[in-house]
Amino acid sequence: MKYQMRAIKNLIILLSLAVFFPAMCFASADLSVALGDVRFKPNNILAGQTVRIYVTIHNTGDTDTLGRVQIFDETAGIQISTDQPVSLIAGGADTIFADWIPLLGERRLRIKVTALSPDSNPKNDVVIQNVFADNDFDRDGIGDALDPDDDNDGVPDARDQFPKNAKEWQDTDSDGTGDNADTDDDNDGITDMDELKIGTSPYLKDTDGDKFIDSEDVFPLDAKEWLDTDKDGIGNNADPDDDNDNYCDQPPEISKVCKLNADNSGDRFPLDFKEWHDIDNDAIGDNVDKDNDNDSLNDVDEKVIGADPRNPDTDGDTYLDGLDAFNVVFFFW
């Protein structure tokens, strides 16, 4: 009876402790990690450059515990560094770090914490962190995605035709060669050095805007002139005799330097100094045309028989000289 009373008394004491001090009877650890517990230094993650990953682990349980932290680069399929040990008192926290050299692009990191004693809530033991490892072309510490001047040449990428070439930024003629290396920036057939010497623009194919590129414009600085057929220094637009054959191009241009044809017409071939008239309008100049009046008799024969090589009907009887047996006698044909 004595021993039974003692057992009942001990049982009552245990039940009282369980009711009033439950933590003493059912104490456990709870290690956890969340997205806000993961930090990077530097924050700007760059491919090929060392990044230090800091992870803070919390013990929200009511007993001290030991544990380990693992960090994985799941994109690369590797574990970053070795397992990191942690020691946490109840309600405390501990921070570990690991150095990582990421590859270029999107990376998926998985951080896992494992308690060495029973963990009351294993659901908060893992966190996934997605990051982007950017390239840094000019090694200025700013990733290309955020860097306004990737090659650090002083010209913003938005205006730089060669954003990854610090020696080039403009390509005036769009030939794929930057202006600094290109000897003919506007691709007009004249080198930049020569253009500077003659006063034309190395950045404009047609400096004077007359629709003739500089290399084909005899007067590249005069918008009113571009050709000089006779090379007399006077542009064709102002020159009354473009081919310098002494025959004026147009009747209004008659002057002391040129004359008109016998019929008061201008030069029918203003760009050919060997021709100026075309009596029969066959587009063959009289000097080379063997039948100027197109009457089926060549000029030499007409002169022999006394017919006019410039008149298809010498005697005016309405029959062409070539069909008129009496081409110089009006009453016979």
| Domain final residue pick, 102, 133, 164 | 133
**Average pLDDT for 22-26:** 47
Residue 81 lies in a domain: yes
Rounded to whole angstroms, how far apart are CA atoms 50 and 202?
A: 47
| Domain final residue pick, 133, 164, 195 | 133
Residue 82 lies in a domain: yes
**Which pLDDT tens digit goes with each residue over 31-83?**
999 999 999 999 999 999 999 999 999 999 999 999 999 999 999 999 999 99
Q: What is the pLDDT of residue 325?
A: 57
Report whether 247 contacts 267 (CB < 8 A). yes
Q: What is the pLDDT of residue 243?
A: 82
Residue 260 lies in a domain: no
Q: Cα 44–45–47 angle (5° rounding)?
A: 135
**Average pLDDT for 203-223:** 95
Residue 119 lies in a domain: yes
Specify the number of domains making up the chain.
2
Q: What is the pLDDT of residue 265?
A: 73
Residue 20 pLDDT > 90: no
Residue 110 lies in a domain: yes
Output 201 or 273, whichever has higher pLDDT: 201
Rounded to whole angstroms, how far apart are CA atoms 311 and 263?
A: 13
Q: What is the pLDDT of residue 131?
A: 97
Residue 17 lies in a domain: no
Predicted TM-score (pTM) of this structure: 0.56
Token digits for 211? 């629709």
CA distances to 28, 38, 63, 321 from 52, rounded to whole Å, are: 32, 11, 30, 108
Q: What is the pLDDT of residue 258?
A: 72
Residue 155 lies in a domain: no
Edge-to-edge order in the sheet of strand 78-88: 78-88, 65-73, 105-115, 126-133
Range of the domain at 128: 31-133
Mean pLDDT, rounded, of the chain = 84
**112: CATH:** 2.60.40.10
**Average pLDDT for 93-114:** 97
Q: What is the pLDDT of residue 315?
A: 72
Q: What is the pLDDT of residue 15?
A: 47
| Domain final residue pick, 90, 113, 133 | 133
Residue 304 lies in a domain: yes
Q: What is the pLDDT of residue 256?
A: 58
**Which pLDDT tens digit goes with each residue over 159-183?**
999 999 999 999 999 999 999 999 9
The label of the residue with tokens 């000019």 reads 138
Q: What 3-state class would DSSP assign to 89?
A: coil
Report whether 209 contacts 201 (CB < 8 A). no
Residue 23 pLDDT > 50: no
Q: Residue 263 contacts by C-beta under 8 Å, 6 or more apart in sequence?
A: none
